[in-house]
Amino acid sequence: MSNTTQTLGPSLTIRRTFNAPRERVFAAFTDPTLLVRWLGPDDVTMSDVAFDARVGGALRFVYNSPNMGEMIVTGTVTALRRPEHLAYTWTWEEDDKADEHESAIHIDFIAHGNETEVRFVHANLKSVESRDRHEGGWTDAFDNLGQLFA
């Protein structure tokens, strides 16, 4: 029996309800042509989005920030049950690979008639400061997503 304990970093939980059927909301999280329209903070644009929507599929998001320049996220889809659940890893590419940190995203899509509740968890973030930065970015992104269904 092992006496080692894995320490996980801070996590972020967001719950939002969108005025759209579950299939449409799920598609917004997996279709690159939709992801590019909402995924990111207000002051950031996306120049490239790739999302292979299958377990083991790769994802890559290229963000362009006026303050930070180009930023790249990579990951792998770890779970996909269309249209109810999606999970993937999330790693910011760093200049020094030793500075990279893999976190995990888990999303549940709950149908409520013609609306969909999204339960989003971004887990194992590097630090409390990282969690707080991600909270701002994800909050803006979910606000943008809501505009797709307005």
pLDDT band at 6 (very low <50, low <70, confident <90, very high): low
* C-alpha–C-alpha distance, residues 94 and 126, integer Å: 13
Report the mean per-residue pLDDT for the chain: 94
Judge whether 61 and 72 are in contact, CB under 8 Å: yes
Q: Which domains does the chain have, with CATH numbers?
A: 13-148 (3.30.530.20)
Q: Residue 109: enclosing H or E segment and its boundaries?
A: strand 102-112
Exposure b/e, 126-139, CB count within 10 A at least 16 = b:
beeebbeebeebbe
Q: Dump pLDDT digits (tens) for 88-127.
A: 999 999 988 888 999 999 999 999 999 999 999 999 999 9
- pLDDT for res 1: 47
The per-type count for the chain, helices as H runs and strands as E runs, is 3, 7
